[in-house]
Structure 1
Amino acid sequence: MHDWDAIRYFLEVARTQRASAAALRLGVQHSTVTRRIRALEAGLGVMLFEKSRANGFTLTEEGQQFFVYAEQVESALLAAQEALSGAAQGLTGHLRIGSTEGFGSTILTPLMVDFQRRHPGITLDIMPVPRYISLSKREADIAIALERPQHGPYLCTKLAEYALKLYGTRDYLDRHPPIHQRSDLSHHTFIGYVDELLFSDRLRYLDDWVQASQVVFRSTSVLAQYQAVLGGQALAILPCFLAAQDSRLAPVLNADIHVSRSFWMYCHEDLRQTRRVMAIWDYLKQAIKLNQDLLLGEQRTLQIPS
Structure 2
Amino acid sequence: MSNFDWNNLQSFLAMARAGRLTVAARRMGVDHSTLSRRISALEDAMHVKLFERRPEGFALTPEGEALLGDAEEIESLTVRMGARLHADTSKLTGNVRMGTPEGFGTYFLAPQLAHLSHKHPDLNIELVANPRSFSLSKREADIAISMARPNQGRVYARKLIDFGLGVYASRNYLASHAPITTRQDLLAHGWIGYVEDLMWTSELDYLPMVDRNIQPKLHISNVISQLTAIEGGAGLGVLPHFMARQSPVLTRVLPTEIHLTRAYWLITHPDTHNLARIRACCDFLTEQAFARGSDYWMSELA
TM-score by length of 2: 0.88
1:25 pairs with 2:27: yes
Q: Is the 8 A contact 1:86 1:92 kept in 2?
A: no
Report the CA distance between 1:101 and its aligned residue.
Answer: 0.8
Match of 2:198 in 1: 197
Mapped to 2, the partners of 1:290 and 1:255 lie a distance apart of: 26
| Secondary structure at the counterpart of residue 271 of structure 1 | coil
Match of 1:296 in 2: 298
Mapped to 1, the partners of 2:82 and 2:199 lie a distance apart of: 40
Counterpart AA for 1:288:
A
Match of 2:253 in 1: 252
Cα 1:65/1:269, change in 2 over 3 Å: farther
Mapped to 2, the partners of 1:273 and 1:65 lie a distance apart of: 28
1:100 pairs with 2:101: yes
Mapped to 2, the partners of 1:88 and 1:253 lie a distance apart of: 48
Match of 2:171 in 1: 170
Counterpart AA for 2:8:
A
Query: Size of the alignment, in residue pairs?
Result: 298
Q: Which stretch shows the higher mean deviation, 73-82 or 25-34?
A: 73-82
Match of 1:187 in 2: 188
Match of 1:111 in 2: 112
Select 1:42's aligned residue among 41, 44, 48.
44
Q: Which stretch shows the higher mean deviation, 68-77 or 5-14?
A: 68-77
| Secondary structure at the counterpart of residue 109 of structure 1 | helix
Mapped to 2, the partners of 1:27 and 1:121 lie a distance apart of: 18
What aligned pairs does 1:1-306 form with structure 2 within 5 A after superposition? 1=2, 2-49=4-51, 51-78=52-79, 80-81=81-82, 87=88, 89-208=90-209, 209=211, 211=213, 213=215, 215-291=216-292, 292-297=294-299, 299-300=301-302
| Secondary structure at the counterpart of residue 126 of structure 1 | strand
| Secondary structure at the counterpart of residue 273 of structure 2 | helix
Mapped to 2, the partners of 1:88 and 1:233 lie a distance apart of: 49
TM-score by length of 1: 0.87
After superposition, the C-alpha distances for 1:81-107 in whole angstroms (9 at most, x for unaligned) are 566567495111111101111111111
After superposition, the C-alpha distances for 1:212-240 in whole angstroms (9 at most, x for unaligned) are 55x23221121111111111341111111
Mapped to 1, the partners of 2:136 and 2:116 lie a distance apart of: 22
Counterpart AA for 2:246:
Q
Name structure 2 gaps, 5 residues minimum: none
Report the CA distance between 1:60 and its aligned residue.
Answer: 4.2
Q: Is the 8 A contact 2:191 2:214 kept in 1?
A: no
Mapped to 1, the partners of 2:86 and 2:198 lie a distance apart of: 44
After superposition, the C-alpha distances for 1:148-191 in whole angstroms (9 at most, x for unaligned) are 22222211111122111001122322332221110111222111
Q: Is the 8 A contact 2:164 2:299 kept in 1?
A: yes
Q: Is the 8 A contact 1:167 1:249 kept in 2?
A: yes
Q: Which stretch shows the higher mean deviation, 94-103 or 190-199?
A: 190-199
Mapped to 1, the partners of 2:80 and 2:151 lie a distance apart of: 26
Mapped to 2, the partners of 1:125 and 1:61 lie a distance apart of: 33
| Secondary structure at the counterpart of residue 277 of structure 1 | helix
Mapped to 1, the partners of 2:11 and 2:169 lie a distance apart of: 51
Mapped to 2, the partners of 1:269 and 1:278 lie a distance apart of: 12
Mapped to 1, the partners of 2:29 and 2:282 lie a distance apart of: 29
Q: Which stretch shows the higher mean deviation, 291-300 or 163-172?
A: 291-300
Q: Is the 8 A contact 2:242 2:300 kept in 1?
A: no
Percent of aligned positions with the same letter in both sequences? 38
After superposition, the C-alpha distances for 1:97-134 in whole angstroms (9 at most, x for unaligned) are 01111111111212232211211111111111012222
Q: Is the 8 A contact 1:186 1:210 kept in 2?
A: no
Cα 1:62/1:141, change in 2 over 3 Å: same
After superposition, the C-alpha distances for 1:47-94 in whole angstroms (9 at most, x for unaligned) are 433x13135333345534533333343344445556656749511111
Q: Is the 8 A contact 2:135 2:141 kept in 1?
A: yes
